Amino acid sequence: MDKKRGSFSNKMGFVLAAAGSAVGLGNLWRFPYLAAKYGGGIFLLVYLILAVTLGFTLMITEIAIGRKTGLSAVGAFKTLDKRFSFVGYLACIVPFIITPYYCVIGGWVVKYFAAFLSGQGAAAAGDEYFNGFISQPVSPVFWFALYIMITAVVVIFGVEKGIEKASRIMMPLLIVLTIGIALFCITRPGAGEGLKYYLLPDFSRFSATTVLAAMGQLFYSMSLAMGIMITYGSYMKKNSSLEKSVRQIEIFDTAIAFLAGLMIIPSVFVFSGGDEAALGKGPSLMFVTLPKVFEDMTLGNVIGAAFFLLVLFAALTSSISLMETNVSIIQDKLGWGRKKSTVVVTVYVLILGSIVSLGFGPLSFIKLLGLGLLDFFDFLSNSVLMPIVAILTCICIGHFVGSKTVEDEVEINGAFKVKKFYRIMLKWIAPICLVLILFFAVSEAMG
Ligand code: PHE
């Protein structure tokens, strides 16, 4: 990264770049499988409530302190209150945990793209195809390595701008295609049950686990509680409205997650019966369900290939932003050059990611806290570290630095419409709820 900070040339530029980081596998792959598993409509409802309360509060706080200080997480916390410097460091650990397994899923996407491109859609729709694939020792590691290489090449040669440009075409296409596929799915016989499950909250399914899962998903999907939005904020110009930008990013991110659910959950009912086992598939859900949908379509191979290519783009813009974050942390802390830092991060991701990938095959005997490797890292970042970072951020800004710092920053561009609400959320509601959820997560994990 240059010594002098550039900034986004226009208002939309910031929103699009932040949305590019936010929209990714979290929306398309993770949201639907959690919604399917944790009660459909009730999960959706809890998620939406959290998005406009907790998500809004945290995102506006992070972007504001980034823009105010002009620094990324470590520097920003250090400047605002020396005693909270460690929060910046803690936030930096998160992308190091997420990147390896994110790229493993990215590899699955490349594999499915290749499969549909070579006309193997029918095989991919078979029940055992996915498990057969991820349990192999070599193939998933190969596709994972290919994915991380694409990411690394983009970062090393600094062609992020090109990818961003391309994704301005790819993202709208992805949305159009997702809407098309969702329409196809919800008009199949038997989809009504699935629609009901997804859209009508069943309050008897509500539990603390629903809230925990929805909250972890919120952080993950909106790239919160890991310093990324602070960095993005540091590049934001003083003349764009913070409040409005945050709204736009949130709406965009949530709408895509919602659509992904609309495409996948009814399909589970149409093609797999919609029983608990089919709904509780977890990380494999998208890869098991969608090929069945494409198989049912005319030109399924072409549509499948196009879909996975667009998903690949959305995933890449996110993994590039993850990788960038890791690289700039190494650059800043160790004073290494950009190339060297990128190579070292890539090797690290290759090693840890391969282990995660093998966790579905030869290393499947390894269980940490009763979880497989991918689920373990996912739990560690989303249910433990991110809530801790979020709590500390609320305490630091709400009670030590003062919410006024954020409020003033927002008010540079006009009135802060929900200032009172923001202040109460930041100081009291968010940290208290987060502490409760964290306790619950840890006690669950400890059995
Ligand atoms: N928010 C991204 C997604 O939904 C994942 C991500 C997390 C990207 C953190 C960058 C940083 O897929």
Q: Is the pLDDT of residue 3 over 70?
A: no
pLDDT band at 134 (very low <50, low <70, confident <90, very high): very high
Dihedral, 410, 31, 203, 210 alpha carbons, nearest 10: -80
pLDDT band at 151 (very low <50, low <70, confident <90, very high): very high
Q: What is the pLDDT of residues 298-348, one digit of tens each?
A: 999 999 999 999 999 999 989 998 998 898 888 888 999 989 999 999 999
Best of 96, 99, 102, 327 for a ligand 1 pocket test (most atoms within 8 Å of beta carbon): 102
Report the nearest-CA residue for atom 8 of ligand 1. Answer: 318
Q: Which atom of ligand 1 is nearest to the CA of 222?
A: 1
Higher pLDDT, 9 or 361: 361
At 4 the pLDDT is: 45
- The ipTM assigned to this model is 0.96
**DSSP string for residues in 230-262:** HHHHHTS-TTS-HHHHHHHHHHHHHHHHHHHHH
Q: What is the pLDDT of residues 190-229, one digit of tens each?
A: 999 999 999 999 999 999 999 999 999 999 999 999 999 9
Q: Where are the domains of the chain?
A: 11-445
Query: In the structure, which protein residues have their CB atom closer than 6 angstroms to any atom of ligand 1?
Result: 21-22, 24-27, 98, 220-221, 223, 226, 228, 318, 321-322
Q: What is the largest CA-CA distance in the chain?
A: 61
User: Mean of the per-residue pLDDT values for the chain?
Assistant: 93
Dihedral, 372, 263, 228, 322 alpha carbons, nearest 10: 60
Q: How large is the average pLDDT for residues 117-125?
A: 96
Model pTM score: 0.94
Report the nearest-CA residue for atom 7 of ligand 1. Answer: 223
User: Under CATH, what is the fold of the domain 11-445?
Assistant: Amino acid/polyamine transporter I (1.20.1740)
**DSSP string for residues in 79-115:** HH-GGGHHHHHHHHHHHHHHHHHHHHHHHHHHHHHHH
